[in-house]
Structure 1
Amino acid sequence: MKKRALWKDIFREIGHTKARFISIFAIIMLGVSFFSGIKAAGPDMLDTAGTFYRETGLMDLKVQSTYGLTEDNLKLLKDVPGIGEIQPGYSADVFAGDNALILKVFSYNTDATLNQYRMIEGHLPEHSGEIVLDDVLAGEYALGDKVTFSGNGKDTELSDDFGTLDYTVVGFVRSPQFIEKNNRGTSTIGKGTADAFAAIPEADFKLPVYTEAYLSFTDTAGLKAYSPKYEALIEQHTQAVEQALSGVPEARLAELRAEGGKALSGGPLEVAAAKQQLAGLELPKIYVTDRNVSPGYTEYKDNADRLSAIASVFPVFFFLIAALVSLTTMTRMVEEHRLQIGTLKALGYGNRDIMAKFMVYGTLASLAASVVGLAVGFTLLPTIIYNAYSSLYNLPDIVKSFYPSYSILSVIVALICTTLTAWIASRVELRSNASVLMRPKAPKSGQRIILERVSFVWKRLNFVQKVTARNLFRYKQRMFMTVFGVAGCTALILTGFGLKDSIGSIAGEQFGTIMKYDALVALHDDVPAGSRDAYEQLITGESAITGTLNVAQETMTARASGVNDQDVNLFIPASVDSLSDYVELRDRTSGEGRKLTDEGAIVSEKLAKLYGVEPGDKLTVVDNKNETFKIQVAGITENYVMHYVYMTPAYYSSVFGKEPVFNTELLNYGVQDAAWEDGLSEKLTASERVAAVSFSSSVGSAFDDTMKSMDVVTLVLIVSAAALAFVVLYNLTNINVSERIRELSTIKVLGFYDKEVTLYIYRENILLSVLGIVAGSGLGILLHSFVLRTAELDATMFAPIIKWPSYVYAALLTLLFSGIVMVFMHIKLKRIHMIEALKSVE
C-alpha cells in the first residue's frame, strides 16, 4: 500500500509540475542526444565506407611496374603468404570526344571480384565497343551516346593499345577506388589530372602485358577498414609483396633486351639507333601501394576522426551544464516540499521512503529523456552530419548502428545529473528535524551590500535600481548559477562559431599567405639533355610566368619515443634569397619573419609541437633506408597542413652527406584564370621532364571543400548549444519566479502593473545574462583552444582564431533566447493569483 501511495504521489507531482518535469527532460534529452549522436557519427561514417568497400571488393594492395607485369610476375605474387585474390588488369589515360575530357580507362572482366562497380544506370559492358562511364559524366552523356578515344592527336598510337576507339555508353557506375566526387587522381596526359574514369571489356585492350594487379588477402577479409589491425597487416603484406618482387626489375630489363636483340637479328631499319635505344633502357620500377592512394580514402577517415575528437569534448560540457541546472531544479523541488517532508518525518516515515519520491521523479525524467535522446542521437545527428559529407563523396546511404557502450554511458551520466542531485538535495533537507521542516524556511536577514558602501554610486541609483542590486546580492547562489549557466551556453555557441572560423581560415592561410607560389612542377631527373632544354624553353616562353625557384624536396620520417611517426617534407631552395617570394616563413604570433641559415633548419609549428622541440633542440628523422639523422632546429614557422623542414643546400649537405637533388620547380605568374592554367598544365604534362603538376588554386580549393564539410558539424554544435541555452535560461528563470512568487504578488498588490512586475524580474535577468555573456566569451576562448587541440589531426593545425563577428553572434543568440524566455515568463507573471500566493503556508 505504501508503494502504491508513493507512485500515486509521484505521478500526481508530475502532473502538477509539468513545466519542471519537461525542463529536466529537455535538458537531459539534449545532452544525451548530442553525446550519442556526435559519438556515433564518426564510427557510422567509417562503418558505411567499410561496408561499401567490402561489398565492392576494394583491393588491399595495387602492384604496378613501369614496364608492365607479366604472367611470370603474377606467379611470384601467388607465393606471397596469405594472398587471397590476384586480379590483373589494364588501364590507360585517353582523351574522350570533342570536349577533350581525360578518362582513366580500366579493363572490365566479368569474373572480377575486386574493385567491383556500383551500377547507377544501365548495365556493365558485355560486348566489344561497350563502355560504362563515371557517374560524374551523367550530365554530359546519356545511354546510347558515342565516345571516341584520342591521344594528343596521335590516334595511331592508341590503335596499338585498343581494339577499337569508338564506344557506346551502356551504363554509369561508381567505383570504390574513387569515393571523392571531384577527384580522379593524376593523369599522364593533358593537364595532369583525370576528369573521370571508364571501363571497357578486357578484350578491347591490345597491350602485351598487364599494367597493374590488384591483390586481396585472406586475413584482412573480416577486418574493419581503417582499423589499426587492418593497417598493421597491410604494412606487413606490402613488405612481403615487395620482397617477392625484389628481383623482378633486373629480370624484366634483361628480358626486354633479349627480346629486342632477337628482333634486331632478323633485320627493323636503323639498327644502330635501335641498339642505342635498347642500351639506354632503364631499370624498371615496381610500385606497391595500398588503399591510401585512392583519392578520398585517407581524407574520409580524417573527417571521421575529427568528428570523434570533437565528440570527446563537447558532450562533456553539455552534461556539466545539465548537471548544474538539474541540481538547481531538484534542490528547488525539495525545498518546495519542506512541509510534506516534515509531516512524513513526524509520522514516522524513514529517510529512505521520503527520499524515494524525489529520486524516482528524477529517475523517470532522466530515463525517459535518455530513451528519446538515444533514439534522436543514433538516428538523426549521424544522418545530418553524413549528408553534409555526402556532397564530397560517392558513398551509399549511411549505415546506422546501435552502440551499447555509448547508451550505457549516456544513461549513467543522465542518472547522475538527476537522481544523484535529487539524493543530495533531499539528504541536505532531511538533516533537519520534523519541527523545523514543518515551518517555512526563515528568510535571509537583510544586509548592506557592497555597492551601498560606494556612496557616490549608490546615491545616484533610483529605487528600482537599488532593489535590483539588493536582490542580486541577496540571492547569491541563484546569481552565480544563472551567470554560470548563461556563460556555459555562450561558451558552447562561441566555440561552434570559432571552429568555423578556425577551419575556414586554413586554406586561405596555407595556400595563399604561406605557400605563395602559384604552381609546383615535379621534375624527372633522368631525362636527356634535349628534354631539359625543351622544358626550359617552355617555361621561358610563357610570358605570364614572372619567376621560378628550383627546390629539392624529399620525404623522411620524424621519429621519437612516445610520438607517432610523421611524414616530413624536406624543403631545400636553390636560392635562399628568393624563397620569400614563394614561401613565407614567419612566427605565427608575432608575424616576425624567419631566415634560413647554414646553422640549422626551420620546422613547421605543428611538427615542433608534436615532438616538443624548440630552437636549439634536435629533431630525429629517418630515411627510406632506415638511416637516422639529427636536424638542428633553428626556428619554428607558421604552417597548417602537413609537416615541413626548411633548410639551406649547405646545411642539407652537412647533415646528409650528399648534395640535394633539385627535383621540383615553383612557378609564379600573374594570371588567375582556370583555362590558362589548364593550358599550361597540358603543355607541362606533355614534357618528358615533368612528372606532375599541381596548382595552388586547385589544391587550396580542394582542401577548402573538405574543410567546408565541417560547416554542418559546427552548425549542429551551434544549434544544439543554442537549444541548451534556451532550456537553461527557461529553467533558471522559472525557478527564480517560483521562489519569489509571494514577493511578486506583494508588489502586484501594491499597484505594480504587469509590465512593471516583469521588468522587476528581468532587470536582474538581463544584467545576469550580460555578465554571463562576458564570462562566457572568456570561457569560450579557453574551450575553443581546448577543442582545437583535441580535434586536430597529426598532420593538420587549425588556425587558433575567433573572429569578432563570432562574439557578436554568440551574444545575440544568447540575448535572443533570453528575450524569448522573457515573453513566456511575462505570460506566467500575468497569471499569478495574488490572493492564493499570499496565503499563509503555516
Structure 2
Amino acid sequence: MKKQALWKDIFREIGHTKARFISIFAIIMLGVCFFSGIKAAGPDMLDTAGTFFKDKRLMDLKVQSTLGLTEDELTLLKDVPEVEEVQPGYSADVFAGDNGVILKVLSYNQEQALNQYRLMDGRLPEQSGEIVLDDLLAGEYAIGDKIVFSGNGTETGLSESFGTLEYTVVGFARSPQFIEKNNRGTSTIGKGTTDAFAVIAEADFKLPVYTEAYLSFKDTAGIEAYSVEYETLLEQHTEAVEQAMAGVPEARLSELRAEGEAELAKGRAELEAAEQQLAQAAGQLTEEQRQAQAAAGSEAAEQLEAARAKLAEGEQQLAALTLPKVYVTDRNANPGYAEYKDNADRLSAIASVFPVFFFLIAALVSLTTMTRMVEEHRLQIGTLKALGYSNRDIMAKFLVYGTLASLAGSAVGLTVGFTLLPAIIFDAYSSLYNLPDLIKSFYPSYSIISIIVALVCTTLTAWFAARVELRGNAAVLMRPKAPKSGQRIFLERLTFIWRRLSFVQKVTARNLFRYKQRMFMTVFGVAGCTALILTGFGLKDSIGSIAPKQFGIIMKYDALVALHTDAPAEEQQSYEQLISSETAITGTLDVAQETMTARASGVNDQDVNLFVPEAADSLPQYVSLQDRSTGKTLELTDEGVIISEKLAKLYGLEAGDTLTLADSKNEPFELLITGITENYVLHYAYMTPAYYASVFGKEPVFNTSLLNYNAPDSAWEDQFGEKLTASARVAAVSFSSSVGTAFDDTMKSMDVVTLVLIVSAAALAFVVLYNLTNINVSERIRELSTIKVLGFYDNEVTMYIYRENIILTLLGIAAGSGLGIVLHSFVLQTAELDATMFAPVIEWPSYIYAAVLTMLFSGIVMAFMHIKLKRIHMIEALKSVE
C-alpha cells in the first residue's frame, strides 16, 4: 500500500508540475540527442564505407612496377602467406577526344573478383570497343556516345597500348577505389591529375605485361575497414609482399638486358650479313653493271643506314635501362580513403566537446530545479518524517521523479539522435563522397553513457538535494526555512553611485547578489548557450569566407588555361593570335604546373601543386603570396620554395625546413622552404624556374597560361571560353568565377552541420532560460505577492523580475562571446579537411545574431512568465504555513 501511495503521489506531482517535468525532460533530451547523434555519425559513416568496400571487394594492396609485372612475378605474389586473390590488370592515362578530359582507363574482365563496380546506369563492358565511364561524366556523355582516345593531343603511341581507340559508352559506374567525388588521383599526362576513370574490356589492351596487380588476404576479410587491427594486418602484409618482390628488380633488369642483347645481336648479325651480301654482289659485277646498279645501290645504302641508326638507338636504350622499382601501396593511397576516416574522426572529436557543454549546463540547471523542488516539499518531508516514514521512502519520490524525466528524455534523445542527426550529417558529406545510403546502427555503449550522464544530472542531484533537507528533524522541517540575513553589497559602499540609484534599481542590485547561486547559474547557462550559437555562426563565417578569399584575393587571375605542350607550331601560333586579338585581356603569364605527392610518417599523403611561373616578377599580378598573420608580401627566390599554410601545418614545417615530394614514379625530391603563404584550398609549392631545374634536373615545361581580363559581362566569358576550347592547343579551361562558385557549393555541405549546431544550441538556450526564470519566480512567489499587494501593477511586477534577468543575460552574453571565440577556434582545428583551411574569423554580425537570439529567447520566456505572474493567488501565497 505504501508503494502504491508513493507512485500515486509521484504521478500527481508530475501532473501538478508539468512545466518543471517537461523542462527537465527537454534539457536531457537535447543533451542525449546531440551526444548520441554526433557520436554515432562518425562510426555510421565508417560502417557505411566499410560495408561498401566489403561488398565490392576493394583490394587490400596494390603492386606496381616501373617495367610492369610478368606471369613469374604474379606467381611470386600468389605464394605470399595468407594471399586470397591476386588480380592482375592494365591501366593507362589518355585524353578523351579533344575536350581535355584526362581518363584513367582500367581493364575489366567478367571474372574479376576485386574492385567491383557499382553500376549507376547501363551495364559493364562485355566485348571489344565498349566503355563504362565514371559517374562524374554522366552529365557530359550519354549511353551510346562515342569516345576516341588521344594522348597529349595526338594518337602517338596509343595504338601500341590499345587494340582500338574508339569506344561506345555502355554505362556509368562508381568504383570503391575512388570514393571522393572530385579526386581521381595523379596522371602521367597533361596537368598531372586525373579527371575521371573509365573501364574497358581487358582484351582491348595490347600491353606485353600487366601494369598492376591487386591483392586481397584471407585474414582481412572479416576485419572492419579503418580499424587498428586492419591497419596492423596491412602493415604486416605489405612487408611480406615487399620481401617476396625484393629480388624482382634485379632479375627483371637482367632479363630485359638479356632480351635486349639477344635482339641487338640478331640485329647486328642481320646488318653484317646485309653488308656482306651487298659487298659480294658489288664485287661480282662488271664495270657496266656497277654503273647500271648505282641508282639501286643508293637505296640499299639508305636501308643499311636506317638499320644502323635503329641498332644504335637500341644500344642507347639498352644502356639507359635502370633498375626498375616495385611499389606496394595499400588502400590509404586511394583518393579520399584516408581523408574520409579523418572526417569521421573529426565528427567524433566535435562530439567529445559540444555535448560536454550540453550536459554540464543540463546538470547545473537540473541541480537548481531539483533543489527547488525539494525545498518546495519541505513541509511535506517534515510531515512524513513525523508520521514515521523512513528517509529512503521520502527520498524515493524525488529520485523517481528525476529518474523518470531522465529516462524519458534519454529514450527520445537516443531515438532522434541515432536516426536523424547521422543522416543529416551524412547527407551533408554526400556532396564530397560517392557512397551508398547511410547504414544506421544502435550503439549500446553511447546509450549507456548517455543514460548514466542523464541520471547523474537529475537523479544524483535529486538525491543530493533531498539528503541535505533530510538531515533536519521533523519539527524543524515543518517550519519555513529561515531567510538568509541581508548583507550590504559592494555597490552600497560606493556611496557616490549608490545615492544616485532609484529605489527599484537598488532592489534589483540587492536581489542579484542575494541569490548568488541562481545568478551564477543563469550567467553560466546563458554563456554556454551563447558560446554554442556563436560557434555555429562563426563556422558559417569561416566556411563562407574561403571562396572569396581564395578565388578573389589570393588567386587574382581570371582564367587558367591548360595547354597541349606538343601541339603543332601552327596551332600554337593560332592560340597566340586568339589571345592577342582579345582586347579585354590585360595580361598573360605562362606557368609550369605539376602535381606531386608530399609524404611523411604519421601524415596522410597530400597532393601538392607545383607552381612555376616563367616570369617570377610578374607573379604578384596573378597570385598573391603573403604571410597571413603579418600581411608581409613574400617573394620567390632561386634558393627555395614558398608553400601554402595548411601544407606547412599538416607536416609541421617552418621556413628553413625541408619538404619531401614524390613524383608519379615515386622518386623523392627535397625542397628547401623559404616562406609560408596564406592559402585556403589545396596545397601549393611556388618556385622559380631556376630552382625547379636545380632540384629536378630538368627545365620546367610551361603547360598552363594564366589570364587577366576586364570582362564586360558573363556572356563574353562564355563566348571566350568557347573560342579557347575550340583551339587545338588548349586542353582545358577553368574560370575563377565558376571555380569559386563550385567550391562554395561544395563547402555548403558543412552548413547543415552548422545549422544543426545553431538549432540545438538555440533550443538549449530556450530551455535553460525557461527553467532558471521559472525557478526564480517560484522561489520568490511570496515576495512577488507582497509587492502586488502593495500596489505594483502586473507590468511592474514582471519588470521587477525581468530587470534582473536582463542584466544576468547580458553578462552571460558577454562571457559567452569570449567562450565562443575559444570554442570556435577548437572546432576549426578539428573540423578542417586536409585540403582546406578555414579562415579563423568571426564576422561582427555573428556576435549580434548570437546576442539577439539569446535575448529573443529570454523575451519569449518572460512573456510566458508574465502570464504566470498575472495569475499569482496573492492571499494563498501569503498565508502562513504555521
Q: CA separation in 2, counterparts of 1:650 and 1:129?
A: 46
- Per the alignment, residue 799 of structure 1 pairs with 839
User: Structure 1 residue 766 and structure 2 residue 806: aligned?
Assistant: yes
- Aligned partner of residue 249 in structure 2, secondary structure: coil
Closer, same or farther in 2 for the Cα pair 1:609/1:622, shift >3 Å? closer
- Per the alignment, residue 257 of structure 2 pairs with 254
Closer, same or farther in 2 for the Cα pair 1:815/1:538, shift >3 Å? farther
Per-residue deviation, residues 239-278 of structure 1 (Å, max 9, x unmatched): 5445514336524643663586457877896324433443
User: Do the aligned partners of 2:724 and 2:730 also contact (CA within 8 Å) in 1?
Assistant: no
- Per the alignment, residue 172 of structure 2 pairs with 172
1:786 to 796, 819, 826: 826
Closer, same or farther in 2 for the Cα pair 1:212/1:259, shift >3 Å? farther
Q: CA separation in 2, counterparts of 1:483 and 1:685?
A: 63
Look up the equivalent residue of 2:260 and give its one-letter code: R
CA drift of 1:316 comes to: 1.0
CA drift of 1:712 comes to: 1.7
- Per the alignment, residue 217 of structure 1 pairs with 217
CA drift of 1:770 comes to: 1.7
- Per the alignment, residue 689 of structure 1 pairs with none
1:497 to 537, 545, 555: 537
1:313 to 353, 360, 364: 353
Closer, same or farther in 2 for the Cα pair 1:313/1:795, shift >3 Å? farther
- Per the alignment, residue 291 of structure 2 pairs with none
CA drift of 1:621 comes to: 7.7
Which stretch has the larger CA shift, 81-90 or 578-587? Answer: 578-587
User: Structure 1 residue 365 and structure 2 residue 433: aligned?
Assistant: no
Q: CA separation in 1, counterparts of 2:556 and 2:481?
A: 71
- Per the alignment, residue 148 of structure 2 pairs with 149
Look up the equivalent residue of 1:149 and give its one-letter code: V
User: Do the aligned partners of 2:186 and 2:595 also contact (CA within 8 Å) in 1?
Assistant: no
Q: CA separation in 2, counterparts of 1:551 and 1:133?
A: 26
Alignment of 1:359-398 (within 5 A): 359-398=399-438
Q: CA separation in 1, counterparts of 2:240 and 2:745?
A: 37
Q: How many residues align?
A: 824
Q: CA separation in 2, counterparts of 1:151 and 1:633?
A: 38
- Per the alignment, residue 234 of structure 1 pairs with 234
2:865 to 801, 825, 833: 825
Look up the equivalent residue of 1:274 and give its one-letter code: K
Alignment of 1:115-514 (within 5 A): 115-143=115-143, 145-151=144-150, 161-163=161-163, 167-187=167-187, 194-243=194-243, 244=245, 245-247=248-250, 250-251=253-254, 253-254=256-257, 257=260, 261=264, 270-281=306-317, 283=321, 286-455=326-495, 457-506=497-546
Which stretch has the larger CA shift, 309-318 or 669-678? Answer: 669-678
- Per the alignment, residue 834 of structure 1 pairs with 874
User: Do the aligned partners of 2:541 and 2:842 also contact (CA within 8 Å) in 1?
Assistant: yes
Closer, same or farther in 2 for the Cα pair 1:797/1:149, shift >3 Å? closer
- Per the alignment, residue 731 of structure 1 pairs with 771
Look up the equivalent residue of 1:591 and give its one-letter code: G
- Per the alignment, residue 24 of structure 1 pairs with 24
Q: CA separation in 1, counterparts of 2:647 and 2:186?
A: 28
CA drift of 1:827 comes to: 2.7
Closer, same or farther in 2 for the Cα pair 1:382/1:263, shift >3 Å? farther
User: Do the aligned partners of 1:190 and 1:683 also contact (CA within 8 Å) in 2?
Assistant: no
Closer, same or farther in 2 for the Cα pair 1:423/1:633, shift >3 Å? farther
- Per the alignment, residue 50 of structure 2 pairs with 50
- Per the alignment, residue 289 of structure 2 pairs with none
State the superposition RMSD in angstroms. Answer: 4.7
Closer, same or farther in 2 for the Cα pair 1:490/1:156, shift >3 Å? closer
User: Do the aligned partners of 1:249 and 1:285 also contact (CA within 8 Å) in 2?
Assistant: no
CA drift of 1:393 comes to: 1.8
- Per the alignment, residue 794 of structure 2 pairs with 754
Look up the equivalent residue of 1:339 and give its one-letter code: L
- Aligned partner of residue 483 in structure 2, secondary structure: coil
- Aligned partner of residue 212 in structure 1, secondary structure: strand
CA drift of 1:670 comes to: 1.8
Which stretch has the larger CA shift, 65-74 or 576-585? Answer: 576-585
- Aligned partner of residue 200 in structure 1, secondary structure: strand
CA drift of 1:508 comes to: 5.5
Q: CA separation in 2, counterparts of 1:8 and 1:670?
A: 80
Closer, same or farther in 2 for the Cα pair 1:238/1:712, shift >3 Å? same
CA drift of 1:40 comes to: 1.0
Q: Which has the larger radius of gyration?
A: 2
CA drift of 1:802 comes to: 1.7
- TM (normalized to structure 2)? 0.79
1:713 to 738, 741, 753: 753
CA drift of 1:510 comes to: 6.0
Q: CA separation in 1, counterparts of 2:17 and 2:768?
A: 17
Q: CA separation in 2, counterparts of 1:667 and 1:646?
A: 15
- Aligned partner of residue 247 in structure 1, secondary structure: helix
- Aligned partner of residue 62 in structure 1, secondary structure: strand
Closer, same or farther in 2 for the Cα pair 1:78/1:247, shift >3 Å? farther
Look up the equivalent residue of 2:460 and give its one-letter code: L
Which stretch has the larger CA shift, 293-302 or 264-273? Answer: 264-273
CA drift of 1:163 comes to: 4.7
Closer, same or farther in 2 for the Cα pair 1:721/1:662, shift >3 Å? farther
Which stretch has the larger CA shift, 541-550 or 58-67? Answer: 541-550
- Aligned partner of residue 223 in structure 2, secondary structure: coil
User: Do the aligned partners of 1:115 and 1:176 also contact (CA within 8 Å) in 2?
Assistant: yes
CA drift of 1:588 comes to: 3.7
Closer, same or farther in 2 for the Cα pair 1:830/1:717, shift >3 Å? same
- Per the alignment, residue 293 of structure 2 pairs with none
User: Do the aligned partners of 1:94 and 1:149 also contact (CA within 8 Å) in 2?
Assistant: no
- Aligned partner of residue 85 in structure 1, secondary structure: strand
Closer, same or farther in 2 for the Cα pair 1:280/1:540, shift >3 Å? farther
Which stretch has the larger CA shift, 539-548 or 55-64? Answer: 539-548
Closer, same or farther in 2 for the Cα pair 1:659/1:787, shift >3 Å? closer
Could you tell me the percent identity over the aligned residues? 72
- Per the alignment, residue 708 of structure 2 pairs with 670
Look up the equivalent residue of 1:250 and give its one-letter code: L
Which stretch has the larger CA shift, 151-160 or 744-753? Answer: 151-160
- Aligned partner of residue 14 in structure 2, secondary structure: helix
User: Do the aligned partners of 1:103 and 1:196 also contact (CA within 8 Å) in 2?
Assistant: yes
- In structure 1, runs of 5+ residues without a counterpart are 687-691
CA drift of 1:534 comes to: 12
CA drift of 1:695 comes to: 9.8
Per-residue deviation, residues 386-437 of structure 1 (Å, max 9, x unmatched): 0111122221111122222212211121111111111221222223332222
User: Do the aligned partners of 1:490 and 1:810 also contact (CA within 8 Å) in 2?
Assistant: yes
User: Do the aligned partners of 1:572 and 1:652 also contact (CA within 8 Å) in 2?
Assistant: no
- Per the alignment, residue 84 of structure 1 pairs with 84
- Per the alignment, residue 285 of structure 2 pairs with none
Q: CA separation in 2, counterparts of 1:206 and 1:636?
A: 47
- Aligned partner of residue 110 in structure 2, secondary structure: coil
User: Do the aligned partners of 2:48 and 2:437 also contact (CA within 8 Å) in 1?
Assistant: yes
CA drift of 1:226 comes to: 2.4
CA drift of 1:661 comes to: 6.5
Closer, same or farther in 2 for the Cα pair 1:193/1:220, shift >3 Å? same
Closer, same or farther in 2 for the Cα pair 1:540/1:83, shift >3 Å? farther
Q: CA separation in 2, counterparts of 1:175 and 1:632?
A: 38
User: Do the aligned partners of 1:558 and 1:619 also contact (CA within 8 Å) in 2?
Assistant: no
Closer, same or farther in 2 for the Cα pair 1:568/1:764, shift >3 Å? same
User: Do the aligned partners of 1:184 and 1:194 also contact (CA within 8 Å) in 2?
Assistant: yes
Q: CA separation in 1, counterparts of 2:834 and 2:653?
A: 15
